[in-house]
Amino acid sequence: MAVLLVATGITQAHADDLTQCSQSFYGGVYPEFTNTKLKKDTQALCMDGFAVMYSGVSRTPLWSAEHLDRTRLQQAKQIDREDSFHEESKLPKSARASLSDYSGSGYDRGHLAPNANMANRSQQYDSFSLANIAPQSPRNNRYIWRNIESATRYLTQQYGEVYTITGVAFTDKKTKQLANRVLVPSHFFKAVYIPATNQAGVYYAPNDESERIDVISIDELTTEIGIDVLPMLDSQSKSQAFDLPLKAGESSDTPEAPVEEPEWMLFVWAILEWLIAQLQA
């Protein structure tokens, strides 16, 4: 894996102990670096509702981890979106991304742990921290990624709970930068583990306008990015890619769609509504 990174001098003084947010990880164990070069200037952050491994080299998260269940998603539906993008105060100023880095860049501020998964205002606010944000191709963010985030929530509703690790990769020989500070990922990924079936798969997409996305195994992801995102998973589950849906509802177990009313019935209802309106006039 080719990674062009420059040192920023981040310190570990403000790093969190990820055991404090072990509920975000399957088996309570967070991802492990298999490429130790990626550890340079990293900082662990326990956010409200998710956990982050932040890189002061790229000034982006390397991954964000969440445990999703039906209750959390039901609570998340009750709150509307309030955009509050902000610098992360837990990080040294020298290592932080800033709002100005993204201004006029042509890239979206792409969430790793998505706002729509957040069950309360505190979690939502933390999801808009730039420690959870990476430069993302607009079409990738608004179409491909939006679909797979919905599909992941669908899987949560279907199976009761899932663990997800969403992250970025830097595999290009030459890495783009925003404002000569923030590195632009070559790829985005979302690893999904379903405890009910002991199956896992990974959405893996180039960070461009191609709308391409592959579904790969955990082992294949580890080879690509140098991180084992689910170290507690057994070898068979890591080696086999679960056939993840690309849109919500795309599954052999999908409930049948509701039967549409025939056209003549719709016509009858229209007449009845008109008659009621006349009587009430």
The annotated binding site for Mg(2+) is made up of 141
Is 111 tagged catalytic? yes
Binding residue numbers: 141
| Inter-CA distances, 116 with 51, 120, 232, Å | 16, 10, 27
Query: Exposed (0-12), middle (13-18) or buried (19+): which is 259, by Cβ within 10 Å?
Result: exposed
| Inter-CA distances, 244 with 147, 194, 222, 252, 262, Å | 12, 11, 18, 11, 34
**Nearest residue to 3 via CA among 239, 228, 227:** 227
Point out the catalytic residue in the list 14, 67, 86, 111.
111
CB-CB neighbours of 136 under 10 Å: 24
**Nearest residue to 67 via CA among 132, 152, 137:** 152
Please give the Cα distance from 168 to 76 (Å, whole number): 25
| Residues annotated catalytic, as ranges | 111
